Structure 1
Amino acid sequence: MYRYHCLNPISQVGLEKFPGKYENTDKIDEADAILVRSADMHAMELPEKTTAVARAGAGVNNIPIDALGKKGVVVFNTPGANANGVKEMVLAGMLLASRDIVGGIEWLEKQEATEDLAKKAEKQKKQFAGCEISGKKLGIIGLGAIGVRVANAAVHLGMEVYGYDPFISVDAAWSLSRSIHHINDISCIYRECDYITIHVPLMDSTRNMIGAEEIAQMKDGVVLLNFARDLLVDEEALAKALQAGKVKKYVTDFANPIVAKAPNTLVTPHLGASTEESEDNCAVMAVKQLMDYLENGNIKNSVNYPNCDAGTCVDEGRLTINHKNIPNMISQFTKVLGDAGVNISNMTNKSKGDLAYTILDVATPISQEVAKNLKAISGVYRVRIVK
């Protein structure tokens, strides 16, 4: 029996994917795995038996991924599961920033319902007319699951699209429309584009990546959109640009005191992935990844450990080892197994930064004594007998 604990409400569509040998427990100390959305885990002390954490979403700022990695806890996320929901918000943001729909609605709400209301609206509508996005240049910073969808959709809306991502994946590159200009100099986006949208993770290298220097390069009247992460934009510099009219509109999904008071901003309350479909998709992906890890030891979409897939074990036993990425580890593993008379049928080893992961399929069942000896090796964080 496997037990899992939910730190946040998780879509029932996803939880129903767990078969009968899984049990939802209210006691975190009993959990083999944890499902989470936005709950802050940084101050939490997880029980020793917890081997995995799955974030039903893409961002993992609320999870201490490095600390958990050193405890042999694999942290998963669900990249792309909410991509369509965010894409639609970005498109809506561009349209709302181009045509002052919000301003028009707010004006009408303040009017009295008199017989001449239609005539008043006809006289007033020029104030909210705005412009069309077709034919305009859109710059996309980050061509991951969301950025690619935004790019392809914008092409179909008649926009000229520029994409920047020095680390674009093969899958993303194949999915990208051939009409998109894939550029190597991000300054080109700042100089050329009428609309700029950001789709990168928040890291030290991307924090405040758009500041006063970058804004100065932009066209007058540019529209900037941020549905990725808070703190990617230096919003104090942005507020000055909005006040001066350098930036026409700032559309963001992240409310804070600076943008709340800045002129010409459209702020939504973190709605990007908050659709029923996105929450279902994220939950289903998270559950499937947890099941494959708990039952087979396979890792897919981990943010701290490498992807590692050995399929289903067809031998007598399988064990997995979470360990430091340092020399001489594999030879120590094989020595312990050899001394115990255990023959290795298949081995898979992958590394990611300072961490590594090894799957060993063996011809005889693994004893707890052998697992204990492997765990005693310096640099080993966790040993798990899967079969």
Structure 2
Amino acid sequence: MYAIKTLNNIAERGLSEFNNENYVIDTDSEDLGAIVLRSFNMHDMKFDKNIKAIARAGAGVNNIPVSDCTKRGIVVFNTPGANANAVKELVLTTLMASSRNLFDGVAWTKTLEGQGEQIPKLVEAGKKQFLGKEIKGKTLGVIGLGAIGALVANDALDLDMDVMGFDPFISVDTAWTLSRNVQRAMTIEQLFANCDYITIHVPLTEQTRGMINEETLSIMKNGVHILNFSRGELVNEKDMSVALEGGKVGKYITDFPNETVLKMKNVVPIPHLGASTKESEENCAIMAARQVKDFLETGNIKNSVNFPNASLPFTGKRRVTAYHENVPNMVGQITSALSNYNLNIADMVNRSRDNYAYTMIDIDNKVNGDVIPYLEEEINQIEGIVTVRII
């Protein structure tokens, strides 16, 4: 039996995936199998020695000590794409609303309360200060064409916008979903120079931190609107403030307000609502639970941020999984241990990621239960082995 601990309120539809006798939810069991969470900060948390997996019901994993988990052999999952539609809808909503000065107009209209019959005349006289512009025929630049970026790009085309995309690491799966009418920017500078609106959909890394800064802003069109629903740190806030004040940037729409952002001119601060829909929370919870369940029951790994993805059809016979250093002869030593017990290999997969690798081996013949602890111990004795499981 596996104990599953939750560190945030996880949608019931996700937890219902753990619906058989092999699981118990929210327990302090000594045999804790996995943790499912959203934004809980785990950096100061002590890890149970038996924990095998952590699943973040969302995309970002900065609240999880991923490096430490990697060294301990704990798989960390996230749920890319599960909240993509929710974020896409908010991106397009705010793109149109900010272009029409809707937020400022609504806020101004509310100040007319108490002026009775004069309100209609005041509205007609004051509406000219909120003259906006239509997005039809304008060019939208999409930086990052993952699950969210691709949806934004495709739907913007349906709104009669021209769309230019930049992503040097686009996956084959995403490329299949992306409309052929999305123009490809060969460089990010090309996108900066040609777009009326720019929306950012990349992870925060040392390479992307502060990617919107004085230098890149100088390349852009005057009055450009910039939308940031990825991470606040992608934008140099000091440089953005100067650009807004001088009119280089017409509007900055961000899902990550702070004291500095709230003082900026022409900023649209959104209280981190990108994935805040019932449907998104349920999708993320279901995806996280299924990934954990599949790993615990079969050893298969999908959407891990620290382990290599690896999958084999599970036959129900014995399966050996080993997480180990990515060095020569590891697989040979593991298979030698199996041969010591006259076990024949039916199928095998070995995948590496940076300094570590993950090996799954299916056994062709039945394995006497008494053999398992000895086999597991023998594999554990191999230098470079981090964790071993026999399923």
Normalised TM-score (structure 1): 0.97
Q: Are residues 1:88 and 2:89 paired?
A: yes
Aligned twin of 2:103: 102
- C-alpha displacement of 1:28: 6.6
Whole-angstrom distance in 2 between the partners of 1:78 and 1:232: 21
Aligned twin of 2:366: 364
Q: Are residues 1:2 and 2:6 paired?
A: no
- C-alpha displacement of 1:168: 0.4
- C-alpha displacement of 1:229: 1.1
Deviation track 1:92-124 (CA, whole Å, cap 9, x = no partner) reads 121122011111111111112411211110111
Percent of residue pairs bearing the same amino acid type? 48
Q: Are residues 1:16 and 2:30 paired?
A: no
Consecutive unaligned residues of structure 1, counting only runs of 5 or more, are none
Aligned twin of 1:381: 386
Aligned twin of 1:38: 39
Deviation track 1:300-325 (CA, whole Å, cap 9, x = no partner) reads 1111111111111343x112111111
Letter in 1 for 2:76: V
Whole-angstrom distance in 1 between the partners of 2:44 and 2:377: 29
Whole-angstrom distance in 1 between the partners of 2:92 and 2:30: 43
Consecutive unaligned residues of structure 2, counting only runs of 5 or more, are none
Letter in 2 for 1:309: S
Q: State whether residues 323 and 358 of structure 2, in contact with CA within 8 Å, keep that contact through their aligned partners in structure 1.
A: yes
- C-alpha displacement of 1:29: 4.5
Letter in 1 for 2:380: K
Whole-angstrom distance in 2 between the partners of 1:60 and 1:302: 11
- Matched position secondary structure for 2:72: coil
- Matched position secondary structure for 1:32: strand
Whole-angstrom distance in 2 between the partners of 1:57 and 1:25: 20
Whole-angstrom distance in 1 between the partners of 2:312 and 2:60: 27
Runs of 4+ in 1 over 4 A off after TM superposition: none
CA distance 1:224–1:28, shift in 2 (3 Å): farther
Q: Are residues 1:351 and 2:356 paired?
A: no
Q: After the TM superposition, which residues 90-239 of structure 1 pair with which residues of structure 2 at under 5 Å, given as runs?
A: 90-111=91-112, 112-239=114-241
Deviation track 1:43-89 (CA, whole Å, cap 9, x = no partner) reads 22211211001110111111111210111111111110000000011
- Matched position secondary structure for 1:358: strand
Deviation track 1:165-217 (CA, whole Å, cap 9, x = no partner) reads 00101111111111110122111111110000100001111111111100011
CA distance 1:211–1:28, shift in 2 (3 Å): farther
- Matched position secondary structure for 1:19: coil
Q: Are residues 1:330 and 2:331 paired?
A: yes
Letter in 1 for 2:273: L
- Matched position secondary structure for 2:291: helix
Matched residue count: 385
Letter in 2 for 1:124: G
Q: Which moved more, 1:253-262 or 1:280-289?
A: 253-262
Q: After the TM superposition, which residues 274-289 of structure 1 pair with which residues of structure 2 at under 5 Å, given as runs?
A: 274-289=276-291
- C-alpha displacement of 1:30: 3.9
Deviation track 1:263-297 (CA, whole Å, cap 9, x = no partner) reads 11001111100100000000011111111101111
Whole-angstrom distance in 2 between the partners of 1:271 and 1:45: 30
Aligned twin of 2:56: 55
- Matched position secondary structure for 2:233: coil
Q: State whether residues 34 and 51 of structure 2, in contact with CA within 8 Å, keep that contact through their aligned partners in structure 1.
A: yes
- Matched position secondary structure for 1:231: helix
Q: Which moved more, 1:336-345 or 1:287-296?
A: 336-345
